[in-house]
Amino acid sequence: MDVLRGVGREWQRVSAGCDVWRRALPVDPDLGSLPSPAQITPARFGRVVPVSPFGPTVLGTPPPRLPPAGAAEEEGPPSPVDRPRGIYRLRRLLLGPALASTAIARERMRKLVALPVLSADALSSVAYGPEAMLVVLVLAGSAGIGYTIPIAATIVFLMLAIGVSYRQTIRAYPHGGGSYIVASDNLGRVPGLVAAAGLMTDYILTVAVSIAAGVAAITSALPSLDSSSVLIGVAAIAVLLACNLRGIRQAGAIFAAPTYAFVIAMVALIAVGLADAGDRNFDPVPDAPAGATEGLGILLVMRAFASGATAMTGIEAISNAVPAFKPVEWRNARTTLTWMIGILVTLFAGIVALIHFDGILPRSGETALSQLAHSNYGSGPMYVYTQAATAAVLLLAANTAFNDFPRVLSLLARDDHAPRLFARMGDRLAFSNGIILLSVAAGLVYVAFDGRTASLIPLYAVGVFLAFSLSQAGMVVHWWRLRDRHWRKSLVFNATGGFLSAVVLVTAGITKFTEGAWVALVAVGAFLLVTTRIRRHYDTVAAALRLQRHAIELPRRTIAPRVAAPAEGVEGSPDGSGSPGTPEGREVRDPEAFHEPGEAEETEEVPEEIRHLSLVPIETLDRAGMRALAYAASLEQPVLVVHVSTGVREAETFREHWRLWGDHLPLQELVSPYRAVIAPLVNYIEALHHQRPDLTLTVILPEVVMRQRRYSALHGRTAPRLRRALRPLRKIVVTSVPFHV
């Protein structure tokens, strides 16, 4: 703050007062404001609403009509971003038209919708969790199969313990408490990154495993497709990629249908199977002879336990999405989590019981669930329904990762642990870069392991239970620090869940190390290394940009704006006079001659005909920002500084810093309620252009330039993005003031 005051005093020595700069403005910078969050109301079946344009009508014409809530902009000429035209048409065909100036309005879900949408990952895991446990136990022959029920009972207890633990997390973090947030808040930066690494690994493998299990359900019903399983899986990932890049989510009821269909199919299968077993007094069908290939020992039992515990994946999803519930959010989230755990335990225990009673053993080319359906239904319509519902819910479970992975990555980018481009939403209001990264990573993993669920499961448990363990450990620290009402009970629940999760993590890491768990451990280590290096780079850049009192570039003479008055009849003249400042002998063209209202022809041929306004979009008062301000002021043309804040608190902070600096130039603040910066800025510049189409607007951007080009990808390319967005508008120039680091 002291340095900022000192820099302000240096500016005061060489700059005219703010009143002088403000009187020189040829426009009215106050064009209204963006809507408040309370005014953002989505359509009944959408999550997108239009944002009203800035400013008054131009030359008596009404503002452009906006599309209805949830709709896309009308078809028009391709944006410069989409050139050449062939690429533009392909994007429009695959992804739909880019959305007009829009704001996201979160869709609040009631419990009956939230349950299937957020539980798809967890509930679908019963399609492969029991079989993964059985695949390990059968290695010990009939003796190993005998441990199915005891191990399943232990996993059920673990499900209950983890579920109760996450109920405490929801109470402590009513605004959403994923493993990354909880671990970072309570254990520190490195444990938070390790938890994030576990989550990211989990989400990538969720896509790969869910697609593999879904394809297995299809090929079990249609064995002729088994040779094409890899191709089918890659095509499914591509379809999920395209669907998620479209960005718009319809009502949750659409996504609820596959989960409810799967639950109904499993409940019906369990009921029919148990009724059949009851007719024979619950006597198990004798197992087919199973030759032992390994001895029955503690390591084999632990491996089976770790494999079966993958049926718990996705339990964390509800604690991440607490704000998506209808009020009272945390109470509804806890109730939904309780329902999910109850259904998960019922389905898991029921499937394991049927496997035990029907004597099902793993078989190449057909899943255990398919064998159960064949055993109880034959090959009739119920068998087809069961397999179709299983495949559908597994694909939906993969889609859950497409929602969560980009959001965790955006949180990492917000905290400078990932490239900032992952914090940016695409044209369709989705974290497009994160979605693409997830698709590529999951596709590579799927192909590398030949799309086989049994090969992918050993990688799965490590990431899942690493995140579980750190999240629960963070909650223990949270309750110990807080010590509010019932803190002891909550601490015991979280400590129990954390201990059991750590047991599974260690078990999976040791027993499955050579089977592929080492890949997950290496991935976590590599992730930690990369994210810490990225944070170190951003810290280095921040240090280079930090204000230094005697490092600010200022002119040696007093600077003040020189203004040439507009031609007679031009609206928006600062003083309402005609054209006393127009040089003799020069004809200044009248904007009334424009072909269309609000548009100006680019007919200036000599310098005297050009009337300037410099716009300086600035994010923070660092050295790069100060250099851009100094450059703009040195041109001695009217200057307007624009700051886009993503929240009221950020706006107040910037305003305080601006006052400390001295308020030497006119400032216009825009508060964006939907955490976007480029769209409101373009909207505002376009509104100024329509207010005074005779002006040449020069947008001067501070730009950090890396001397080492390998770091360039870590920094946003605001100038090129603004150039592409503003290129269709006439008489707007975008330039940058580089600051080399």
pLDDT higher than threshold 60 for residue 676: yes
- Note the pLDDT of residue 363: 83
Q: 169 and 278: one domain?
A: yes
Q: 574 vs 496, which has greater pLDDT?
A: 496
Q: CA 727 to CA 733: how far, in whole Å?
A: 9
DSSP 15: B
* Confidence band for 268, pLDDT divided at 50, 70 and 90: very high
Q: CA 95 to CA 239: how far, in whole Å?
A: 11
* Confidence band for 312, pLDDT divided at 50, 70 and 90: confident
Asked, for residue 650, whether it belongs to a domain, the answer is: yes
pLDDT higher than threshold 70 for residue 697: yes
DSSP 435: H
Q: Torsions phi, psi of 348, nearest 5?
A: -60, -50
* Confidence band for 710, pLDDT divided at 50, 70 and 90: confident
What is the mean predicted confidence (pLDDT) over 1-28? 85
Q: 630 and 485: one domain?
A: no
Neighbours of 440 (CB within 10 A): 13
- Note the pLDDT of residue 43: 54
- Note the pLDDT of residue 605: 64
Percent of the chain with pLDDT over 70: 78
Asked, for residue 657, whether it belongs to a domain, the answer is: yes
Q: Torsions phi, psi of 708, nearest 5?
A: -95, 110
Asked, for residue 9, whether it belongs to a domain, the answer is: no
Q: CA 706 to CA 569: how far, in whole Å?
A: 47
Asked, for residue 261, whether it belongs to a domain, the answer is: yes
Q: CA 711 to CA 619: how far, in whole Å?
A: 20
CATH for 636: 3.40.50
Q: 355 and 465: one domain?
A: yes
What is the mean predicted confidence (pLDDT) over 553-566? 66
Q: 481 vs 47, which has greater pLDDT?
A: 481
HSE toward the beta carbon, residue 259, CA cutoff 13 A: 27
Q: 621 and 487: one domain?
A: no
* Confidence band for 521, pLDDT divided at 50, 70 and 90: confident
Our count of domains for the chain comes to 2
3-state SS of 83-142?
A: CCHHHHHHHHHHHCCCCCCEEECCCCECHHHHHHHHHHHHHHHHHCHHHHHHHHHHHHHH
Boundary-marking domain end, from 511, 539, 563: 511
Q: CA 353 to CA 106: how far, in whole Å?
A: 41
- Note the pLDDT of residue 427: 55
Instruction: Express each pLDDT in 356-409 by its tens digit.
Output: 898 888 888 788 999 999 988 988 899 999 999 998 898 888 877 887 888 889
Boundary-marking domain end, from 483, 511, 539: 511
* Confidence band for 611, pLDDT divided at 50, 70 and 90: confident
Instruction: Express each pLDDT in 641-661 by its tens digit.
Output: 999 887 778 888 899 999 988
Quick one: which of 565, 592, 587 has its CA closest to 576?
Answer: 565
Q: 504 and 569: one domain?
A: no
- 616 beta partners: 641
Q: What share of the chain is helix, strand, coil (3-state, %, to 5)?
A: 60, 5, 30
Asked, for residue 526, whether it belongs to a domain, the answer is: no
Asked, for residue 457, whether it belongs to a domain, the answer is: yes
pLDDT higher than threshold 60 for residue 593: no
Q: 148 and 204: one domain?
A: yes
Q: Torsions phi, psi of 606, nearest 5?
A: -130, 155
Amino acid at 225: L
DSSP 674: T
What is the mean predicted confidence (pLDDT) over 572-595? 38
CA dihedral 378, 383, 387, 388 (to 10 degrees): 150
CATH for 216: 1.20.1740.10
Q: 548 vs 572, which has greater pLDDT?
A: 548
Q: 571 and 475: one domain?
A: no
Q: CA 472 to CA 183: how far, in whole Å?
A: 8
Average pLDDT over the chain, rounded to whole? 79
Contacts of 324 (CB under 8 A, 6+ apart): 106, 107, 108, 109, 114
- Joined tokens for residue 169: 């997390």
Q: 467 and 391: one domain?
A: yes
Q: 565 vs 27, which has greater pLDDT?
A: 27
Q: CA 228 to CA 210: how far, in whole Å?
A: 17
Q: 507 and 569: one domain?
A: no
Q: 367 and 489: one domain?
A: yes
Asked, for residue 234, whether it belongs to a domain, the answer is: yes
Q: 264 and 385: one domain?
A: yes
Boundary-marking domain end, from 485, 511, 537: 511
- Note the pLDDT of residue 731: 83
Asked, for residue 442, whether it belongs to a domain, the answer is: yes
Crossing angle, helix 368-377 and helix 189-221, to 10 degrees?
A: 40
Q: 594 and 473: one domain?
A: no
Domain that holds residue 187: 108-511
Lowest mean pLDDT among 94-98, 209-213, 263-267, 633-637: 94-98
